[in-house]
Every structure is written in structure tokens, then in C-alpha cells.
Structure 1
Amino acid sequence: MEHKASMVNLTIEKDYDSEFCGSIPLHLVNLIQPHGMLLVLDKPKLHIVQASENVEQYLSIPVDELLEQSLSQYISTKQFEEIQQKITSQSSQDKIPINLTLSVKDKKVAVTALVHPREEYVLMELEENFSNPDDNSFIGLYQHIKYITSLLKQAGSTQETAQIAATEIKKFTGFDRVLVYQFDPQWNGIVIAQAKEEDMDDYMDLRFPASDVPKQARDLYFSNPYRLIPTRNYKPVRLIPVVNPMTNRFTDLSDSNLRSVAAVHLEYLGNLNIMASMSLPLIIDNKLWGLISCHHKTAKNPSYELRSAMELLSGIISAQVASKERENAILLKAQLRGLHAQLLEQLYNSPGFADGLLSGATDIQKLLSLSGAAVIYDGGIWTSGNTPGKQELKELAGWLRRNQADKLYVTSTLPKNYIYSKEYKNKASGLIALSINAEQGEYILGFRPEVLQTVNWGGNPNQAIQMESDGKTYHPRNSFATYQETVKHTSLPWLAEEVEAAEALRSAVLEKIIKERY
């Protein structure tokens, strides 16, 4: 029996997760995007101690006149008390959304506020509220979400779920292109679903190097429900004063939706020929599984209500993907348990456990989708299927004994780890080794052959980061033309369920050996 492995689990030999990109402190930039304002308030009195320089543009009051003033001067008593009450009663640091009307001199400005209670201070993000109630009514958004959810429930696979999500989010939001992007085990991303305008580049099935979404950017998705850049041609806005008076440090903007973006990322968007972008995380079992990435050819700033609906949808899509993944895992586990039971019966009815594993109606090759298997035990070597020669098996067992753990060893890139196995890569690029007695070099070995895989990258991953001569300034690649790489010395990946089945089989074999001896 063969278990089909998703290409997303393919082991890429080179690590493209840039330590350089991953070390840049994105949250301490002291700059925001100009489509909103940022205030830093002390606790508990809510005096304004820091503000973005663009408050004058929105409120017609210089920053200096706003600083050290109480927020109560600019909103109604009812709204001020509501903010105080919510901050006091909320034990978590989750964002508190609230609609406010700011009154500055003779000017009134309706804003949507996101309040971030911190231990030492309060962050408040403000965006002008231009929403048309007819365009973004609760009932209208609810109906859209309900409809999309009903379609997602009908999906038969993860791929189908992702494609429905891409298609419907594009219709719902009006973005020119929507991609669903899944991370592989090395944090490269592969586009598994796409909906786009005809004149835009096709990224379906392309893989993008991990440095495109470096570690600290991935981590920020756990504190931000989305990342919005309404236009890449913006001028960053400073916070005044530069240092937060409450902490004597730069203000941590990890949770801020307005946080300014690294210049290299804006250049990256330009190379993609897009002006605006919005991305939402797909989080499964508290791990970043993938992203929904929305692109627009011109500037685009979705309303707060639409963004909130997209945030809700990303959670629903995550849940549906998780459901499909669990469903597939349950089905595979059930199949493997059935084979394990048959193999166990055969094992106990055979005179020797090697015969029970390697021959009969059900064997270890069927259980673990192997092309060949070997048992090295008590001075003997037994094989079935396509395996290395006996001397090569002895040397492999010796290497395992010297270098590996004494229970289970699994790799889909054996030639990379054990150089001598390159000689028989067509038989054993993948290895699963179940130790019987590691000290004596006794193992059950399962093999998978080399499977040459062509990986289509969105641009050359080796040129993902282009450093200038100063060693500090860098640029993203300027081409996303398909770059093909052939992955060698690699087998199909081992699924978690197969590894679990191998561990159960090892326990059964050890139990049989002990019973026979004692």
C-alpha cells in the first residue's frame, strides 16, 4: 500500500531561512504607516506621553500641544470611562476595539480605535472611520461569512479548502490576487491555491524561500491578526518623543497594525508589481501553518469592518484545514492499525520474527510503504525487496550504532547524512531504522529509493537576498520568474503516522524476542 505524500513535505537540502533577515528587530522601528495615528498613554490616568507626528494632519493640533494632556479632554466622559473600565477589567493584553469621536478645538473626528493594554502603558491606534453602514453592515458581513463557511464545509480536501478560500476572499474583498501559502518543514512556502486577475503573474505551485517571511515576521503573526500595507509608497511617520518616557526605550510595536514595514519588504512588493497587500495567518495547533496573502495593483485600504471579517474568516479557514488534516490522519492511522494487526498475527505465527516481518500476505514493506527491508539480528541478515548488499548493510548498521539514537532513526536524505549511501541512492535515499539491540548493531531497516523532484521556485532562491558592498544594505530579488531546482538524494518523506506505526512495530518485535528468550 502506498501513502501519497504532499510535495510540501519535500526536504530541501539548503536552508533558506536567513539568520540575517531573521535578526532585524521589526517591532522596535519607532515608525508607523500614515493611514492612522498612534498614541501612548500612561496608566491609569491615560495621559498622552507619546504620539505619532501625523496627529496634526488628522486633528489640526501640533504633537507638542497634545503631549502630557489627558485623553479625557478629547473624548466624551462616557467614552473615557468606558475605556478605563475595559482596561481595568481585562486581564489579558488583547486589543480592545472601540469607536470614538475626538473633539479637538472646533473639529470632530470619528475614529475606530484599537486599545492595547500593556503592563507599563497603553497603546492606542486610531484610524478615521469612513465606513458606510450600507456597505459594511453586520448583517451583510455575516451573510458573506456564513456563505463562505458553508462552501468550506463542502470541501473534500485541504487543497479544495484552500482554493475555495482564495476564490471567495477575492470576490468578498475585491483584492486583485489572493494566494494561500503553506509552509514546508523548513519554512519555505508553497502556493497551494490562487485566485487572480488575468493580467497578473501566476504563482500557483511555486515555492518561495523562507527568507521571504523571516522568523521574526512569522512570530509577529501570533500577536497580529493581519498585516496590512494600504500602499507601499507611503512616508513613515515618527513617534514623538523618540523614546517612550514610561520605559526609556523604543516603544514595542509588536501588536500594532500600523507598525511601519521594513524598506526591503516595500521593495519586494514593488518587484511583485503590487501596490497594496494584506496577509492573514493560518494557525493550527498553535503553529503557523500558512498565510492568506492578498495583493492589489493599486492602493487599497479595506475598512476596519472588512478587515475584522477577514480576520474571522482566517480563523474559520484554519479550523477547516485542521479538520481536513485530522480527517486524513485518522483515515491513515486506521489503515495502518489494520495492517499492524495483520502483521502482528503473522509475526507471532512465524518461527522467526525476520520471516514474520519480511514474508507472508502482509509484510513490513506494505505497512511502511517501503521498496525494501532488512533484518540484521543475531549474526544473520535477511532481506526483502530492493536493498543494498549485505556488506553495505553491515557497514550501515555500524554507522547507525556509532552515530544514532538507540530507538528509531528516520531520514529521507540518507546520502546527505551517510556519504557512502550515495553508491546505492536508488535503493536507499530514505531510511527508517528500528533498533533491536543498538550496541550489537542489530536493526530492522526499511528503505525508500531516490525520487528526483523538480521544485519550481518563485525566482532563484539563491538570490533571495542581494547584499551591497557595505555588508549592511540589502535588497530582495527583482525577478519572480520560475526557477527550477532538481532535488537529488531524497526519498518521499516519512509521514508522522508511519513513524508512529514503526515505533509500535518495534515494541511488538522486542516483546516477541523477550518472550522467546525468557
Structure 2
Amino acid sequence: MLGSPAFGKADLTNCERELIHLAGSVQSHGVLLALQEPELRVLQASANVEELLGASPAQLLGASVGRLGGDIERCVRRIASQGRLVDPEALRCRVDVNGNEREFEGALHRIDGDVLLVEIEPVGPACPIDTVDLPSQKLLALLGDAVHRISSASTIGTLSDTLVKCCRDMLGYDRVMVYKFDPDGHGKIIAEARDPRLESLLGHHYPATDIPQRARELYLRTRLRVLTDVHYVASPLVPQRLPGHDDELDMSLCYLRSMSPLHLQYLKNMGVTATLVVSLVREGRLWGLIACHHYSARNLRFAMRAAADLLAEVVSTRIAAIENYAYAQVAIQVRRLEQRLVEATSTEGDWRLALFRNPRTLLQPLDATGAALFQEGELLTAGETPNHAELRELLRWIDGQHFDGLFSCASVERAEPALASLTTMASGVVAVRLSSSRPDYLMWFRKEQLTSVTWAGDPSKPVLDDNDPLTLSPRRSFAAWSEIVRGTALPWSVTELALARAFGAALIDIIVQVNAVRFLIAEHQLAQIRTTVSNAKEPVMIADPHGRALFANRCFFELAGRGAGDDAAAAELGDLGDAAQWFQEPERVRQMLRTLAQERHSWRGELALDLGNGTSLPTALRAEPVSARDGSVLGFFLIFTDLRDSRRAAAAREHLEQSLSNAVRDEALSRQVDAADVIGAIVSNASLAAMDIADGNMGPTVVPLLEELEASTRRAAALYDRMKAFVG
């Protein structure tokens, strides 16, 4: 890749692009073999095969892997016949080493369709590094206890503290940390369990540059990486390239792949000798890492690695559940707000008065110090805010940005220096767009807050005076280094941003209702209001007191599959009773309309629209009569909601629950009691997560979240099988 330094040739000016997946060598405690199918001919081997397998590269290249003796060929063929092997599969085998049959374990995966990459390392006394192992019963007991404790954690802090303690008890590393990434890629240690002799790193920040983007991508592809000894001498691949291939071997999924010299120097500067790093993944993104450090050489048996990988998968599921439960609480707060504003609209004629009457109810949920509403050219404020002229300058700047309905910034001064005067009152801002046709926004503000950030070393001094790659140091000193951060507010949390977005959605819905009422009250306002109603994202119909359709917006006609809405199309509807033919149960619709007109009570229910092509569309309907002050009915408005997403979410949840039920039943029939206990705990954790996710009511995002949860649970079960393969 143009501009990307080769492996081992990077410095801190270009390490972000280092080709770390083309390492061309392995850690010396294991060997790599590239085998050509179907003969399983050795195409490439790490140079240490003679030391660990008793045969030199020259003796192996071109020969069948069966040349190594033992049962390695049979084991490789058995696994190779099971599928595509796009992800590594566990391998246990024996090799005849200088007349003695020795046990090996590792993994293999397939590249380029017919090349198998086999990685193995010796087990037992033949292993050159101290290797941690636990009896299977003890490992299962520790794993089961950890899953139960993790499943009961109700906050990210409690979950992280539980995780590091369980990992240290099970794996025995000197230090275990949970490292969480913020939206800018910087990391912070949010939990730690350590040997009491070690200085704490809890709360330390690490700049985003400490983990290059290419490394982050590999953390998503290979969830677990072990470094047994930072002082290892890398064993190169022989030959350097696969025969017949122009490029170097892609080692992205190789667990023995050599690590970047920059990373090794980084660890040496910290005094760390061995590491285990496991990815925590949330919705396909790297949420954080479990980072284990040891201060002497250390290896793990594959059963232990599989247990750690499984535990990280369970934790990722719990993170999703905890964060989505917060969204459920957001929905409750928004419903309460919406109720208050609807009541204010009907009694006072203006929802904005209720929104700003009690500033605390508007500011507290987002922990804001001020707020402003720009709506239809008017400006209302609450709390401590800049003056109106400054606020309108801020509005013009935000309206010129590109975002998806919600804008957030913790430092307006840094993003737009021309607005530095706002820092005292509005250093941080969140803005939700309320209209697609006008610059209408609800904004929250936070004051500047001087913050002391503790970094693990001075982030502004990453290299030595020279730039010699041999002496290059990503962080020469890891002594705590504090920085006073000015011109910024406390960052907005994920939950606070979700709450702001939900508030905005509720206000948009209320605005649609208010504008529908205005439509009926005053014909002379029709031209001003029509654009707002017509462009609303909610499908809506409006009728006069006699049930004659006055208006239906585009979203309604698009929902019903009848093309774009306009006055002519609305006129074709005629009486609302005539529109009943657009539904699968026209008589039920007519009865609802008669009841609405006679009893003058709102109606809520579900109706299926007939799309005219043999298909239907489930909708939720809210029908409201609008009364004049004298008690007469001015008319009605009907607002529709597409229920396809919620139905798909319900089906996905039902499918997941059935899948989990089958998993429990199958495990109870096929596994021993201790195994069923672990699988049962994993399934129980997934069931709790499913309930929390579904209760979050996040619309279209629920289905992929539940599908991700099911895939995660299946992967956890597969990891359990892998672990059993090593401890059985």
C-alpha cells in the first residue's frame, strides 16, 4: 500500500499505516506451516521448525506434512474437511520429534481457497515458556462463577470491576485492566485488579495514537492475542513469500504473528514482559479491551485462552444490555415530557410554555447548565446561556454543519475559534434539529469545566531526540502526567445523547400535532403551516367535523402505497368512510370513525393497510377529535405509525428466545451437569440481555442488536466447545 511502511520499518510519524498483518515472522514459542491442499504439501515454514519439530525447513519444504509423523496429517485433514475455515479452528495433534512423540495444540485456517495455515506450539515440558493451565473442573467452576457474577452487574463500572477480578482469579496475570475507548479513540483504564506490589494505573488516559487504526481493525478480526515474552527473537518465514504469490503472507488471523517492534518497545518501556489482550466488541465496533500484563514470561494453554475469549463475549453481551437498558429509561422520561407538553398545548395553546416553565425538568436529564429553543423564528432560553446575539451566531454555525439530526460538541471554541466568546456559558453544546425546512433547534449547553486528565506519560513527548527505529520509544516514561484541560466542557455521554435525540423526536411529534390543530383552527394560517405538516415524518390525515378528508401528507400516501400526497389526492379520498377501503378490515375502520364522531373520544389501535398488490402493512393509528371552546367538534386528525420494525423486532426476539430454549434443552440432554451449568449461565445472560435490549424500544436497531446477540451467544457456545476440546 502506497505510503505504508513495511513491518518493522515504521516510526511514530507513520506507525498508523504500518503493515503489521504482513509480519513475515512468528513468535518463537510456536511454529507456522503453510500447506497446499489437497496433498498438504509444505509451502512455507517458520525457521524454528527444526528446534520445535525436529525437521529443518529444507527437509519440510515440498514434503507432505505427514513427514512430521504422529497424527498431525490425520488431524489436519479431519478439520480441513469440515468447512471453509475462514476463521481459525482449534487443533490438537502429536508430532514425532527426534524419535519422541510430543503433543501440540494450536489452530488452522484457510486462505486463497486451498492453502491451510497451521499454527502449533508444544504442550507440557517441551514448551519453552512457563505455561498456565488449570484442571478442567476448576476452570469450569471459575468460568461458571464469572458468568453468573457478570450477568448480575447492572452498571458498566460494576461489570468492569467484576470482570478484572474474575480474569485475574482465573488467569493469574499480575495486572488485569479494562480499557475503554472514547468517541475520539482515546483510552481510559476504568477498572483494574493487580498485584499489591504494583502501582495503580486506574483512571489513566492513553492517547489514541498508542493503538494505530490498523491494529484496531485487527483487534476486531482476531479477538484474542497472547504475547508470551516481549524479549522473544522472531522466527522468520521460509521462504519469505508463498511460492506463486507476489505479496507477502497475510497473517491477519495468525495468533503467532510477530508483533510490531514499536509495540514491543512500548511494553518494554512499561516493564511488561507478557500480555494477553481480548477485544470487547459492541455493535461491530471496538468498545474496549481486556488488557492483562505480566512481569515475567508467561503462556496460556488453549483451554485457558478459549475461556478468556468466551468471557469477553459474555461481557460484550452484558455491555449491550446495560447500555440499552439506559435507553429504556430514556424512553420513560421522554414519554413523561411528551405528556406534559400535550396537556399544555390543549390547555394553554403552546407547548413551549410548559417546556420552559420549569427549567430543571429540561436541564437536569442532560446535566446541562442552560438551554435554548429556536422555533419559528422565536428564541426561548432557560438556565445560564450566552446573549441572544451570540446564540444566533451559534445557530448559524450549527445549521451549516453536516449531521444526522443531532449535533454534539464538548468544545465549541476548538471546533470554531470565532465562537470563543461562548466558552464561559456554552463550551459544550448538544443540538437536535426540529424541522427539515427551517433552522428550528433545541439546544443544551454546558459551561467550561477545567479538567485534570492523568495520562500514562506525557502524550506530547512520544519519541527520543533522534528518530532511529532501533531506539524509538512510543512512551519513554509511564510516570503519571497530569494536564489541565481548558476551553472544554465535560463530554456528553452516550445516554445523554440518546436522551437529547429522543427529546427531539418527541418534540417533532408534538409539533406535528400542534400544526394539525392549527390547520383546523385558522384557514388563513394554512399556507404557513402546510409545509411543516406536509414534510413531517409522521403519516397524518386531517378531516372536518363531517368526516370529509381535508388533507393527507406525503408520508401517509407513501405508507399506503398510493403515491405522493397533495390536495388533489386528498380530495379523491372524499369521506373518511370511503378511505376505509384502503384497509384490510374496512368495516372495522368505518365503525371506528362512527364511534370517533359520535362519542368524541380518542381512538388508538392497530390496523392493516391494504397495499393493493396482495400485501398489507401493519400500522398503529392514533385518531383524535379536536374540540372548540364551545364544545363542538372542529374536526379530527389521524396519525399513523409503521409497525413493521416493531413486528420484526418481536419476531427476532421470539426467534432468539426459541433458539435459547433449544440450546438449554440440547445442552441438558447432551452434556454433563457441570457443562450444562456453564452453558446455562451463558444462555441465562443472553436471555437477560435480550429482555433489556427489547425493552429499550430502539425501533429499527432492535432487530440487528438481537441478531448480533444470538450470533454472540452461538459464538460463546462454540468457544465453550473449543475449550472442552482442550480440557476433555
- Separation in structure 1 between the aligned mates of residue 322 and residue 138 of structure 2, nearest angstrom: 28
> Cα–Cα, structure 1 residues 340 and 304, in superposed 2: closer, same or farther, change >3 Å?
same
Shift of 1:246: 4.3
Q: Which residue of 1 aligns with 2:500?
A: 499
Shift of 1:456: 1.1
TM alignment of 1:19-168, pairs within 5 A: 20-75=14-69, 80-103=73-96, 106-118=99-111, 119-130=113-124, 136-168=134-166
SS of structure 1 residue aligned to 2:408: strand
Shift of 1:472: 10
> Cα–Cα, structure 1 residues 295 and 394, in superposed 2: closer, same or farther, change >3 Å?
closer
Shift of 1:477: 1.2
> Cα–Cα, structure 1 residues 485 and 55, in superposed 2: closer, same or farther, change >3 Å?
same
SS of structure 1 residue aligned to 2:220: coil
Shift of 1:219: 1.3
Shift of 1:323: 2.4
Could you tell me which amino acid in structure 2 is paired with residue 26 of structure 1? I
Q: Which residue of 2 aligns with 1:6?
A: none
Shift of 1:238: 0.8
- Separation in structure 2 between the aligned mates of residue 59 and residue 79 of structure 1, nearest angstrom: 12
Shift of 1:143: 1.2
Shift of 1:283: 1.4
Could you tell me which amino acid in structure 1 is paired with residue 515 of structure 2? I
> Is 1:508–2:509 an aligned residue pair?
yes
Q: Which residue of 1 aligns with 2:233?
A: 235
Is the Cα–Cα contact under 8 Å of residues 272 and 294 in structure 2 kept in the other structure?
yes
Is the Cα–Cα contact under 8 Å of residues 72 and 95 in structure 2 kept in the other structure?
no
Q: Which residue of 1 aligns with 2:334?
A: 336
Name which structure has the greater RCO, CA cutoff 8 Å, separation 6+.
1
Which of the two has greater helix per residue? 2
Q: Which residue of 1 aligns with 2:319?
A: 321
> Cα–Cα, structure 1 residues 390 and 490, in superposed 2: closer, same or farther, change >3 Å?
same
- Separation in structure 2 between the aligned mates of residue 278 and residue 209 of structure 1, nearest angstrom: 20
Is the Cα–Cα contact under 8 Å of residues 339 and 367 in structure 1 kept in the other structure?
no
> Cα–Cα, structure 1 residues 429 and 36, in superposed 2: closer, same or farther, change >3 Å?
same
Which shows bigger deviation, 319-328 or 269-278? 319-328
- Separation in structure 2 between the aligned mates of residue 241 and residue 232 of structure 1, nearest angstrom: 25
Could you tell me which amino acid in structure 1 is paired with residue 19 of structure 2? P
Is the Cα–Cα contact under 8 Å of residues 75 and 100 in structure 1 kept in the other structure?
no
- Separation in structure 1 between the aligned mates of residue 217 and residue 13 of structure 2, nearest angstrom: 14
Q: Which residue of 2 aligns with 1:4?
A: none
Q: Which residue of 2 aligns with 1:3?
A: none
Could you tell me which amino acid in structure 2 is paired with residue 46 of structure 1? L
Shift of 1:272: 0.9
> Cα–Cα, structure 1 residues 107 and 66, in superposed 2: closer, same or farther, change >3 Å?
farther
> Is 1:267–2:261 an aligned residue pair?
no
> Cα–Cα, structure 1 residues 512 and 421, in superposed 2: closer, same or farther, change >3 Å?
farther
Shift of 1:58: 1.5
Cα distance per residue 1:154-205 (max 9 Å; x no partner): 3332111111211221122221111111111111111111111122121001
Shift of 1:284: 1.9
Cα distance per residue 1:117-173 (max 9 Å; x no partner): 222411000100118999533322111101222222333321111112112211222
What's the RMSD between the two structures over aligned residues?
Answer: 2.8
> Is 1:182–2:165 an aligned residue pair?
no
> Cα–Cα, structure 1 residues 349 and 452, in superposed 2: closer, same or farther, change >3 Å?
farther
Which shows bigger deviation, 240-249 or 366-375? 366-375
Using structure 1 for the length normalisation, give the TM-score: 0.88
- Separation in structure 1 between the aligned mates of residue 38 and residue 339 of structure 2, nearest angstrom: 64
Is the Cα–Cα contact under 8 Å of residues 340 and 367 in structure 1 kept in the other structure?
no
Shift of 1:57: 0.6
Same amino acid, percent of matched pairs: 27
Q: Which residue of 1 aligns with 2:209?
A: 211
Is the Cα–Cα contact under 8 Å of residues 106 and 302 in structure 2 kept in the other structure?
no
Which shows bigger deviation, 429-438 or 255-264? 429-438
Shift of 1:491: 2.6
> Cα–Cα, structure 1 residues 420 and 506, in superposed 2: closer, same or farther, change >3 Å?
farther
Shift of 1:442: 4.6
> Cα–Cα, structure 1 residues 416 and 138, in superposed 2: closer, same or farther, change >3 Å?
same
Which shows bigger deviation, 66-75 or 432-441? 432-441
TM alignment of 1:305-316, pairs within 5 A: 305-316=303-314
SS of structure 2 residue aligned to 1:322: helix
> Cα–Cα, structure 1 residues 364 and 164, in superposed 2: closer, same or farther, change >3 Å?
closer
Shift of 1:109: 2.5
> Cα–Cα, structure 1 residues 504 and 226, in superposed 2: closer, same or farther, change >3 Å?
same
Could you tell me which amino acid in structure 1 is paired with residue 161 of structure 2? Q
> Unmatched 5+ residue regions in structure 1?
1-17
Cα distance per residue 1:47-91 (max 9 Å; x no partner): 001001111111222210111011133345x75344324223313
Could you tell me which amino acid in structure 1 is paired with residue 242 of structure 2? N
Q: Which residue of 2 aligns with 1:414?
A: 412
SS of structure 2 residue aligned to 1:476: coil
Shift of 1:217: 1.2
Cα distance per residue 1:15-52 (max 9 Å; x no partner): xxx77222001010101110001100012221001001
Shift of 1:396: 2.7
Is the Cα–Cα contact under 8 Å of residues 435 and 508 in structure 2 kept in the other structure?
no
SS of structure 2 residue aligned to 1:89: coil
- Separation in structure 2 between the aligned mates of residue 209 and residue 361 of structure 1, nearest angstrom: 37
Q: Which residue of 2 aligns with 1:477?
A: 475
Number of residue pairs matched? Answer: 500
- Separation in structure 1 between the aligned mates of residue 316 and residue 400 of structure 2, nearest angstrom: 43
Is the Cα–Cα contact under 8 Å of residues 32 and 46 in structure 2 kept in the other structure?
yes
- Separation in structure 1 between the aligned mates of residue 41 and residue 56 of structure 2, nearest angstrom: 16
- Separation in structure 1 between the aligned mates of residue 153 and residue 197 of structure 2, nearest angstrom: 28
Is the Cα–Cα contact under 8 Å of residues 345 and 514 in structure 2 kept in the other structure?
no
- Separation in structure 2 between the aligned mates of residue 408 and residue 283 of structure 1, nearest angstrom: 24
Shift of 1:368: 4.5
Could you tell me which amino acid in structure 2 is paired with residue 45 of structure 1? E
Is the Cα–Cα contact under 8 Å of residues 47 and 70 in structure 1 kept in the other structure?
yes
- Separation in structure 1 between the aligned mates of residue 484 and residue 101 of structure 2, nearest angstrom: 61
Shift of 1:322: 2.6
Q: Which residue of 1 aligns with 2:484?
A: 486
Q: Which residue of 1 aligns with 2:356?
A: 358
SS of structure 1 residue aligned to 2:173: coil
Using structure 2 for the length normalisation, give the TM-score: 0.64
Is the Cα–Cα contact under 8 Å of residues 429 and 449 in structure 1 kept in the other structure?
yes
SS of structure 2 residue aligned to 1:457: strand
Cα distance per residue 1:451-500 (max 9 Å; x no partner): 22221111111123457346997321111111112222323333232232
Q: Which residue of 1 aligns with 2:534?
A: none
Which shows bigger deviation, 356-365 or 163-172? 356-365
Shift of 1:307: 1.7
Shift of 1:404: 5.4
Q: Which residue of 1 aligns with 2:682?
A: none
